[in-house]
Amino acid sequence: MEKAKELVVIGGSAGSYNLIVDIIESLPLQFSPAIVVVIHRNPKFTTKIEETLSLKLKRAIVPAKDKMQICSNMIYFAIPGYHLLIEPDSTFSLDVSEPVQFSRPSIDVLFETSAEVYCKKCIAFLLSGANKDGTDGFRRIQEMGGKTYVQSPEDALITTMPEHAIRSSHYTDIFSDQQIISYFRNLK
């Protein structure tokens, strides 16, 4: 498999799951970037999101593992209980440091490390959620020349996360759910 030269990161919390399913469902069979998703999940509860979505959508969707190479045309999910970081050699690393914004995995941690490695080749989407996780990472992606998109609060089930990112960012585009789905449908 080819190492990803571009990275699309998606962060969401409460209220984002259905849109994430719609995003994955809309993807073409082949696309160039890797897609990495962080959903706030409690490690005390066993979830099989990757397995369930792989079966339902008939796509390879895998949990990101320590030292795993980030490859094109792949969909990765952060596992509960660990921060997911992007290393300079385009591999994942897992970290058990303190929660950020009460969350581990933290959207900020993924976004910030993605920005450092992929710079202008990093694209971020921040979806529905009940805290401000993701906002600092959004700013770092913008500083490094990457592109950021936030779910319209009008479409978000819980508006705290998108509204905070909009207030704190200067260069982000606000997309409706349909615009987000269209973006991924046309991903090359």
- Location of structure tokens 């609060």: 153
89 is catalytic: no
Query: Residues 16, 40, 106, 136: which is the catalytic one?
Result: 40
Cα–Cα dist 125/133, whole Å: 12
133 is catalytic: yes
**Which ranges of 17-168 would DSSP assign to H, the alpha helix?**
17-26, 49-57, 107-118, 135-143, 160-168
Nearest to 30 by CA among 68, 70, 71, 69: 71
Query: Residues 108, 133, 155, 177: which is the catalytic one?
Result: 133
Query: Residues 13, 16, 114, 128: which is the catalytic one?
Result: 13
Structure-block tokens of residue 179? 């615009």
Name residues whose C-beta falls within 8 Å of residue 85's C-beta, 6 or more positions apart in sequence.
92, 93, 94, 95, 109, 110, 113
170 is catalytic: no
Compute the half-sphere exposure of residue 7: CA atoms within 13 Å on the CB side of its CA: 31
* CA-based torsion, 75, 79, 84, 88: positive or negative: negative
Catalytic residues, which ones? 13, 40, 133
